[in-house]
Amino acid sequence: MQADRKKIGIFIIVLGLVIIFLIIYFVFIKKSSPTNTIVNQPVTETVGQLPTESGVGTSTPSDAYNNNHQVYDTSKEPVHKTNADDLGKISMSMAERFGSFSNQSNYGNFTDLKILMTDNMKTWSDTYVENLKKQNQNNLTYYGITTTAMTYSVKSFDDAKGQAEILVTTQRRESTEKINGGTPYTQTLDLNLVKVNGEWLFDKAYWGTK
């Protein structure tokens, strides 16, 4: 009987030691040991970044546009100064319009060209048109001339004095009610220009012989 009590006491002591050991293991030892935990990290995608040599995006397309975009400031451009060639091209256009007219259009081409004429040439133009109208009083009979400018040559150009002379070579065709564009012929137009208040204007015009 006494031996049984002794065995029970030993069992209780051993059981208590086991419980204490388990408590120490789970509370202190297992808690402090590292564990392999997989954490789902969010993946951040950078949209629109351009990779550099290091592989890290440092600029966006908008940055690239701002860096490459150049603003063109026209106010910084030097003002174009009219030269002899410019006057030659203007004179060719003048010759075509000046030399193309018909009696049934009331010689409106001369009126349209007045913005390019000096006061002196405007007066001459009015007189010239009146003479043409007297020569062709019967507007029922059509008469017209078509002029095409071929080439020009600069006879003189002095920007300081504001004087220039341009000779334009043209090809002209006369038309009547019976002939729609007759045989072409070559005729020159000698144009004198002067500068008025900084603007080049036509001052005189002379047709050469056919």
Phi, psi of 143 (to 5 degrees): -145, 130
> What is the reported pLDDT for 78?
65
Reading the block at residue 158, the tokens are 């002095």
pLDDT one digit per residue (tens) for the chain, 210 residues: 555 666 676 777 767 776 777 777 666 665 555 554 444 555 454 444 544 454 445 555 555 555 665 665 555 666 678 899 999 999 999 999 999 988 888 788 888 899 999 999 999 999 988 887 887 766 677 888 999 999 999 999 999 999 999 999 999 999 887 777 778 999 999 999 999 999 999 999 999 987
> What is the reported pLDDT for 11?
72
- Spatial strand order of the sheet with 185-196 comes to 101-102, 143-158, 163-176, 185-196, 199-207
Superfamily of domain 84-207: VirB8 protein (3.10.450.230)
Q: Which residues, listed in sequence order, are joined to residue 195 by a DSSP beta bridge? A: 200
Q: Distance between CA 201 and CA 203 in Å, rounded?
A: 6
